[in-house]
Structure 1
Amino acid sequence: MLRGFDGDRQRLGNAEKFLMHLIQLPSYRLRVESMLLKEEFATNMNFLEPSIDNLKLAAQEIKDCHSLHEILYMVLVAGNFLNAGGYAGNAAGFKMMSLLKLTDIRANKPGMNLIHYVAMQAEKKDPSLLKFSEELPSLEEATK
């Protein structure tokens, strides 16, 4: 209605005058949203900063966890063995999303899959490897 108004602008109320000036600004909506974002940024950062710090700590723990690295290497070796002779055999690494598929690779034993096999091999090699979660105390909080 204000865009179509062609009468005397002096007769408009203060709110209508303000809106008339506002809608004449280019990209006024984007400007108002930007100003709101700028005002709320410090509050949002104070709220998010502990979570960000926790994520950084968890990432450092994962980086430093030798037991986890050893188990992931065992997963890589098992995957290379299963894929030997194919295009995926002799891989130098794997995508983290492929870890979700470890439970899908079943053995001929009932209730046994690749993650069970890797856990059994880790236990044979060094039982302390299976306690890698104790080396990652911040990980559970970081996943939240």
Structure 2
Amino acid sequence: MYQSFKGSPSDLHLVDQFMLEMCKIPNMGQQLDLLLAIRELPASMAELEPLISQKICACKQLQNSPRFVAVLWYILAMGNCLNEKAGREKAKGFRLSSLTRLSLLRGKERSFTLMHALVEQIFLHNPDLAEFPQELTEFKALSGASIKGLSAEVEVLQKELESISECRSQIKPKVIKAETLESQFYKEVKDLIKKYEGDLSQLSRRCAEMKKAYHEILVKFGEAEDQDSEEFFGWISAFISDFRKVLLEIMS
């Protein structure tokens, strides 16, 4: 409608005059889409980076926590004690999903659980192990985002950046007058794309580091390679929370 206007622009309202000038800009719609995509990309990368770093830190804490491993040995020993009394064979290990069941297995006294027995044994024989949550501080406020989901989001950002670069190439005129606003626009977009490529490359490396660290943790604890990280970290977070709760009960 603006482009079909044949009268004098001065006869139009100030807003309409502005819109009329906007319509004269080549590929206006595509340029606005391009600017929007460029504006949103760094914010998306900024949201992912701390989540990925948190997952890496959580994996490293698990990898380097001898106290947590020692606590698992206590649980295995207690489980095998129960197996022996029930006439079952001794287990060589257990899935970490079993950690969430310790507070559900109760003795004759309904208020006394296997978690209480674990805390009592640790407190009696090796009280230093009760401090293992201090080696796993990242699990206190670990986000619910899964490693698989974070990796997929990084891939989406890579595709978005490729689309931005393609869009710039498609709408950029073959001939542009130097030192014009148009030439400045495409130059600034090119510079931003180059910067974001570097930022995204670094984020991709962190993502690869995260996946590698998680794989090493799964191998260490004998879990399946396709184990969902959200579930895996959730088991440990819940165990730490239940352990602390029972520890406070016993100490009070």
Pair in the same fold by TM > 0.5: yes
Query: Which gives a bigger RCO, structure 1 or 2 (Cα 8 Å, sep 6+)?
Result: 2
Tell me which amino acid in the other structure corresponds to 2:131: K
Tell me which amino acid in the other structure corresponds to 1:113: T
For 2:62, the equivalent position in structure 1 comes to: 62
For 1:80, the equivalent position in structure 2 comes to: 80
Question: Which runs of 5 or more structure 2 residues have no equivalent in the other structure?
Answer: 1-36, 145-252
For 2:232, the equivalent position in structure 1 comes to: none
TM-score (norm: length of structure 2): 0.38
Tell me which amino acid in the other structure corresponds to 2:104: D
Check conservation: 1:58, 1:138, Cα contact below 8 A.
yes
1:117 aligns with 2:117: yes
Check conservation: 2:54, 2:142, Cα contact below 8 A.
yes
The Cα shift of 1:109 comes to 3.0
For 1:139, the equivalent position in structure 2 comes to: 139
Distance of aligned partners of 1:74 and 1:42 in 2 relative to their CA distance in 1, 3 Å threshold: same
Check conservation: 1:54, 1:138, Cα contact below 8 A.
yes
Counterpart Cα distance in 2 of 1:94 and 1:132: 19
Aligned residues: 107
TM-score (norm: length of structure 1): 0.64
Distance of aligned partners of 1:131 and 1:96 in 2 relative to their CA distance in 1, 3 Å threshold: same
Counterpart Cα distance in 2 of 1:93 and 1:40: 47
Check conservation: 2:103, 2:115, Cα contact below 8 A.
yes
The Cα shift of 1:41 comes to 6.2
Counterpart Cα distance in 1 of 2:94 and 2:44: 36
The Cα shift of 1:119 comes to 0.6
1:104 aligns with 2:104: yes
The Cα shift of 1:53 comes to 0.7
Distance of aligned partners of 1:44 and 1:127 in 2 relative to their CA distance in 1, 3 Å threshold: same
Where has structure 1 moved over 6 Å in runs of 4 or more? none
Tell me which amino acid in the other structure corresponds to 1:102: L
Check conservation: 2:51, 2:143, Cα contact below 8 A.
no
The Cα shift of 1:139 comes to 2.1
Deviations 1:12-41 (A, max 9, x none): xxxxxxxxxxxxxxxxxxxxxxxxx9x966
Distance of aligned partners of 1:80 and 1:41 in 2 relative to their CA distance in 1, 3 Å threshold: farther
Tell me which amino acid in the other structure corresponds to 1:67: R
Check conservation: 1:57, 1:138, Cα contact below 8 A.
yes
Tell me which amino acid in the other structure corresponds to 1:93: G
Check conservation: 1:76, 1:94, Cα contact below 8 A.
yes
Deviations 1:89-119 (A, max 9, x none): 3112111111111112111234111010011
Check conservation: 1:54, 1:141, Cα contact below 8 A.
no
Counterpart Cα distance in 2 of 1:111 and 1:136: 27
